[in-house]
Amino acid sequence: MRNLLILILVVAGIWWVQRAIARAKERAAEAGRTGRKKGGRAVASPERIIECAHCGLNVPESEGVRDGDRFYCSDAHRIAGPRAD
C-alpha cells in the first residue's frame, strides 16, 4: 500500500513539473509576440502631449481630436473652435 502511494505521488509530481514547464514556455512565447523585454516589462514609446487649441489643456495625442492642423482635447472643443485671444 505504501509503495502504491509513493508511486502515485511520484507520477503526480512529474505531471505537475511538466505542466509548469509548459506554462513557462507558453508565457515566454507570448512575451515574445507582444514585444516585451526579457524582464517582463512592455517596451513603451513616449507619446506626444499637445495643447488644446480651445482651452489650452495639455492632452496625450491619442486622447484628443484633430481638425486639420489644429488639436483639441474633446469633440465639444473642436466644434467650439479655437479660443479667441
- Residues 10-67 have pLDDT tens digits of 999 999 999 999 998 888 887 666 555 555 566 677 899 999 999 999 999 999 999 9
Q: Is residue 30 part of a domain?
A: yes
Quick one: pLDDT at residue 6?
94
Quick one: pLDDT at residue 29?
80
Secondary-structure breakdown of the chain: helix, strand, coil percentages, each rounded to the nearest 5: 50, 15, 35
- Give the residue numbers spanning the domain of 1: 1-80
Instruction: Give CA separation, 73 vs 18, 20, 47, 69, in Å.
Output: 52, 47, 15, 14
How many whole angstroms separate alpha carbon 18 and alpha carbon 64? Answer: 48
Total domains in the chain come to: 1
Quick one: pLDDT at residue 10?
95
Q: Is residue 85 part of a domain?
A: no
What secondary structure letter does DSSP report for 35? T
Quick one: pLDDT at residue 36?
53
* The pTM of the whole model exceeds 0.85: no
Quick one: pLDDT at residue 13?
95
